[in-house]
Amino acid sequence: MREIRVLVATAWRVDRRLTLAMIAEPLGNTLVLMSGLWLAMLTNGVIRHDPRQVVIGIAALVLGAGLGWQLDLSASQWRMVLGEKVAHAFDTEIARLCAELPTLDHFERSEYQNQLELLRQRQGLLGNSLSALAVTVKAICAGLTVLILLVVAHPAMLALVLLALPALLITRTQQRWRATAEDASALPGRTARHLRTVAQDRDAAVEIRLFGLADYVERRIDTLWRAQRAPIEKTERKVALASLAQQLLYVTGVIAAVGFVLHQAIRGTSAPGDVVLAIYLSQQVQTAVIWPIQAVTGFGRTLHTVRRYLWLVDHARAAAPTGHLPAPERIVEGIRLENVSFRYPGTEKWVLRNVSLTIPAGGALAVVGENGAGKTTLVKLLTRMYEPTEGRITVDGTELADLDAEQWRERLAAAFQDFARFELTVQHAVGLGDLPHLDDTAHVRAALGRASADVLPQEAQLGTSWGGADLSTGQWQRLALARGLARTTPLVRFFDEPTASLDAFTEDALFGSMARATDGANGMITILVTHRFSTVRSADLIVVLADGGVAELGSHRDLLARDGRYARLYRSQADAFAG
């Protein structure tokens, strides 16, 4: 019951008043449910000329109606607001947990992706679960009230409960049917949603118009929509038929029950008021039995989402990096990889295998190799997005895994080929690279200068959907570079294919500034990942990765002399310029 505890505790934390109101609401609602009793009292009072019963009956009816209305009006408001508050509290927590997860497992491995997809993409899910809890409590209270009244009216009427029981079975079956139908419609539904997103996408718009895909996409959406709805509609027909059969049985029972009490009244063993109560109640018994069951089942489903959330909490706790040693302020000797191997947990394939190399302080390492050779994984290990499966990485002799991960990352800088397009102001999009200087205009101006990225005023908003500027891929990449160059004295800088979309001048200027910064006094190490060999030669050390292992290692000169893989690829690129 950790799920319910977390749910209620969160509600209590975000708004005590509303939480109490939600708990109190079902109690107020019972007064409304007792209308049958007051009606009977009024009837008996009028017949027996008992003004006391008449007054109580009317007063209770009036109060019930007024209170019911007010409760409905207010409670729907409370539920909405509290639901939104709770949802927001959970969503923030989910965002924090996801963003702070050190690894990228949840993006790169399908089993985690499935677990998190729902939590990540659909906000507000957990707000509904609180609502579901309130409805469940309300339904149970309502059920109990009606059952008690039933006993008061005539114990024999409890037999109606028996007739309502098949509904339990049928309801459960119907829910199973619906779940199956939902499963069957999930896949076409997802694809249809994808295509609808594509239909609105500005990048896709170009191809859609060029290749005349509008009709095709529309047709596909329509087909997928049918495929999505068909199992649902078929199931709904089955559900309706099952309900009908069960309802007819029950209604027959109600008629019999009313007939029974009527018979008693004609014989004089029951008061007319009892007949009234019987008529009124008999129609409520079914709801009183089914509603709580439905509510509990529905609540069970939403608890599933809470369970996912708790899984994330546990997962984040387990994944939290363990090291607590302070990160060094400078690198004196260098970074050493000793027999480092890596494979994703639970998989067989080694992404990196027995990589050993030493990067001297103040040095620059170039990592080359084809796509899939393990270049990016090396970067992920050094930035501690993953820990090595075997072997160890040391910084001046201290194991990297023992360092405080957050502190270590504060001393890194990076620019990636698949950079993010932060649609913020230019100032913030670049300042993010050095958070303590986020709003420091001079600092950001300097970073923009280093990346030749001063194309827009710093206060300009980026992104057309916010009314901001539209940039070309190359311009976006320059901003990403400026972000990577914002920290002025990092210990390690990573450039993962940072110039793919840059023009020749910018590329050249960048290598200039890279070379200059390498003279840093703190022993800064530069790691350049690329498949463009022209940019590699200035590195002190070049490692050629192939199939996760070190194929060649040495300086440009060494590797050319060896006349192996590196030399071959280098010459083929050089030849493209020759002649």
Partner 1 sequence: MTYFARWTGAAVKRLGGAGTTALLWQAGRWRFAVFCVLAVLQGLTPATAIAASGVLISGLPTDPARATLGLALFGASLLTGTVLAAILDHQAAVLDGRVARTIHDTVAHATLRTDVELLVDPRTTGELGALAEFERVDGFVGTVTALRELLRQRATGVGAAVVLATFAWWAPLVMFLGWRGLSFGVRRWLDHGMNLGARQGEQALRRARYLRGLAVDSPAAKEVRVFGLAGWLVPLYRDSYLAALEVLWEGRRLGMRTVLAATGGVVLAHLIVLTAIAQTTTTPAEIVVYAQAVLSTSALGYVFGAEVPLARARKVAKLARALADRLATSPPPAKKTANAIELKNVHFTYPGRDDEVLAGVNLTVPKGQSLAIVGENGAGKSTLVHLLCGTYRPQRGEIAMPGEVSAIVQRFTRFELSLRDNIGFGAGDETVHRALERAGGLSLLDDLPHGWDTVLSSSHPDGRDLSGGQWQKVALARALLAVETGAEVLIMDEPSANLDVLAEEELFARFSELAGEITTILVSHRLASVRHADRIVVIADGRIAEDGTHAELMAANGRYAAMYSLQAERFAEKEWSHA
Q: Give the C-alpha separation, 533 to 568, whole Å.
A: 11
Q: For residue 79, what are the contacts with CB-CB under 8 A and spacing of at least 6?
A: 22, 131, 134
Nearer to partner 1, 251 or 325 (CB): 251
Rounded to the nearest whole angstrom, what is the least distance from the CB of residue 92 to partner 1 in the complex?
Answer: 4
The verdict on 201 binding partner 1 (CB under 8 A) reads yes
Under the binding rule (CB under 8 A), the answer on residue 464 touching partner 1 is: yes
Residue 347 contacts partner 1 per CB under 8 A? no
CB of 30 to partner 1, least distance (A): 16
Compute how many residues bind partner 1; rule: CB under 8 A: 170
Which helix (H) or strand (E) covers residue 209, if one does? helix 202-210
Residue 568, interface with partner 1 (CB under 8 A)?
no
Q: Where are the beta strands (DSSP E) in 504-555?
A: 525-529, 541-546, 549-554
Nearer to partner 1, 301 or 557 (CB): 557
Identified binder of partner 1 from the candidate list 341, 475, 522, 555, rule CB under 8 A: 475
Binding status of residue 469 toward partner 1 by CB under 8 A: yes
Residue choice 50, 161, 175, 229 for contact with partner 1 (CB under 8 A): 229
- CA atoms in the 13 A half-sphere facing the CB of 403: 24
What Cα–Cα distance (Å) separates residue 410 from each residue in 179, 185, 356?
Answer: 47, 46, 25
Residues between 237 and 276 that touch partner 1 (CB under 8 A): 237, 239-241, 243-244, 247-248, 251, 254-255, 258-259, 262, 265-266, 268, 272-273, 275-276
223 binds partner 1 (CB under 8 A): no
Which residue in 67, 62, 60 sits closest to 28, CA to CA? 67
Minimum distance of partner 1 from residue 522's CB (angstroms): 18
Query: Which residues in 368-397 contact partner 1 (CB under 8 A)?
Result: 370-372, 383, 385
Long-range CB contact pairs, 133-137, < 8 A, 24+: 133/4, 133/7, 133/8, 133/299, 134/22, 134/25, 134/26, 134/79, 135/295, 135/298, 135/299, 136/292, 136/295, 136/296, 136/298, 136/299, 137/23, 137/26
56, 156, 161, 217: residue in contact with partner 1 (rule CB under 8 A): 217
Interface pick for partner 1 out of 112, 291, 416, 495 (rule CB under 8 A) = 416
Q: Is 180 in the site for partner 1 (CB under 8 A)?
A: no
CA distances from 280 to 158, 255, 461, 479 (A): 14, 12, 64, 72
* Closer residue to partner 1 (CB): 100 or 399: 100
Nearer to partner 1, 81 or 332 (CB): 81
Work out whether 54 is an interface residue with partner 1 (CB under 8 A).
yes
340 forms beta bridges with 355
Please name which of 96, 107, 110 lies closest in space to residue 420, comparing C-alpha atoms.
107
Residue 428, both tokens: 């913030």
CA dist., res. 300 & res. 78, Å (int): 22
Residue 390: strand, helix, or coil: strand
Complex with partner 1: residue 17 or 202, whichever CB lies closer? 202
Region from 159-167, 290-298, 315-323, 506-514 binding partner 1, contact rule CB under 8 A: 506-514
Tokens standing for 381? Answer: 């290990």
Q: Is 320 a residue that touches partner 1 (CB under 8 A)? A: no
Residue 67's identity, in one-letter code, is L
Query: How crowded is residue 221: how many other Cβ atoms within 10 Å of its Cβ?
Result: 18
**The one segment of 136-144, 217-225, 294-302, 353-361 that binds partner 1 by CB under 8 A:** 217-225
Handedness of CA 487, 492, 493, 494 (dihedral sign): negative
Please pick, from the candidates 111, 183, 233, 563, the single residue that binds partner 1 as defined by CB under 8 A: 233
Q: What gap in Å lies between CA 457 and CA 462, rounded to an integer?
A: 11
Residue partners of 340: CB distance under 8 A and separation at least 6: 352, 354, 355, 356, 381, 388, 390, 391, 392, 393
**Position 13 contacts partner 1 (CB under 8 A):** no
Lookup result for tokens 């507000």: 124
Task: From residue 163, give the alpha-carbon distance in Å to each of 280, 486, 504.
Answer: 17, 74, 82
Q: Rule CB under 8 A: say whether 68 interacts with partner 1.
A: yes
Q: Does residue 324 belong to the site contacting partner 1 (CB under 8 A)?
A: no
Q: Which of 16, 176, 190, 307 binds partner 1 (CB under 8 A)?
A: 190
Could you say whether residue 24 binds partner 1 (CB under 8 A)?
no
- In the list 3, 25, 387, 507, the residue contacting partner 1 (rule: CB under 8 A) is 507
- Return the closest-CA partner of residue 149 out of 328, 274, 291: 274
CB 157 within 8 A of CB 237: no
Nearer to partner 1 by Cβ, of 12 and 216: the residue is 216
Residue 419 interacts with partner 1 (CB under 8 A): yes or no: yes
In whole angstroms, what is the distance from residue 414 CA to residue 572 CA? 29
| Distance in Å, CB of 383 to partner 1, minimum | 6
- Shortest Å distance, C-beta 1 to partner 1: 28
> Which CB sits closer to partner 1, 318 or 504?
504
Rounded to an integer, what distance in angstroms lies between the CA atom of residue 541 and that of residue 550? 13
Among 377, 483, 491, 526, binds partner 1 (CB under 8 A): 483
Q: Does 207 bind partner 1 (CB under 8 A)?
A: yes
Min. distance of Cβ 199 from partner 1 in angstroms? 5
Minimum distance from residue 547 beta carbon to partner 1 (Å)? 14
Instruction: State the CB neighbour count (10 A cutoff) for residue 108.
Output: 13
Residues 94-123 that bind partner 1 (CB under 8 A): 94-96, 98-100, 102, 104, 107, 110, 113, 117, 120, 122-123
Q: Does 39 bind partner 1 (CB under 8 A)?
A: yes
Binding to partner 1 by residue 423, rule CB under 8 A?
yes
By CB under 8 A, residue 504 contacts partner 1? yes
Instruction: Check residue 322 for interaction with partner 1 (CB under 8 A).
Output: no
**Residue list 431-450, contact with partner 1 (CB under 8 A):** 432-435, 438
3-state secondary structure of 462: strand
Closest CB to partner 1 among residues 168, 198: 198
